[in-house]
Amino acid sequence: MSGSKIKYMQKKGLTFEYIEDKTCILDEKHDSIITLNDVGTFIWKNLIKPIDLQELNDKIIKKYQVGQKEAFSDLKKLITLMKKHNLIVKIDAP
């Protein structure tokens, strides 16, 4: 699967808060708030240390019992959004 060699993690110094099963993240660049639902929160928590998309996708499938393709498509969309809002950074895998 494409992109599996690249790892991502949360950008340091971000302001965010877990509220019940949601996560609110302050997007300083756009002066707005991004709210993640429970699945987004699960992904966000896994991004606390470098992780590649394949590994992350496997975790989502295991936790939410969804199809691999569907999960990966949604994951890529969320990662794209997080990149756009400067919430995550790309890490070169060793």
Partner 1 sequence: MILYLRYSNLVCKISSPEGWNKYFQKLYENSDIIEYSEKPLVSRCQANLDIVEVNDKNIHLEFITYRNLTKYTIKASAYPLFLFPSVHQFVSRIFNILHHLSGGFVLHASSILINDKAIVFVGESGRGKSTLIDLIHKENPQYTVISDNSAFISRQKGEYVIYPSPYLEANRLGSFQSRAVKRPPYKIHSVFFPFHNSVNIIKSLDFEDRLQLTKINSHIPYQADIVFSSQEKKEFAKKVFGFITKVPMYKLEFAKDRRVIYNLKKYVR
Residue 80 main-chain phi, psi, to 5 deg: -60, -45
Query: Of the ranges 24-32, 37-45, 71-79, 82-90, which one interacts with partner 1 (CB under 8 A)?
Result: 24-32
Contacts to partner 1 from residues 30-69, by CB under 8 A? 31-33, 35
One of 9, 24, 39, 66 touching partner 1 (CB under 8 A): 24
- 3 and 55 Cβ atoms separated by less than 8 Å: no
| Count of residues in the chain | 94
Strands in 22-27's sheet, in edge-to-edge order, are 16-19, 22-27, 32-36
Contact range with partner 1 by CB under 8 A, out of 2-10, 12-20, 49-57, 73-81: 12-20
Our finding on whether 1 is near partner 1 (CB under 8 A) is no
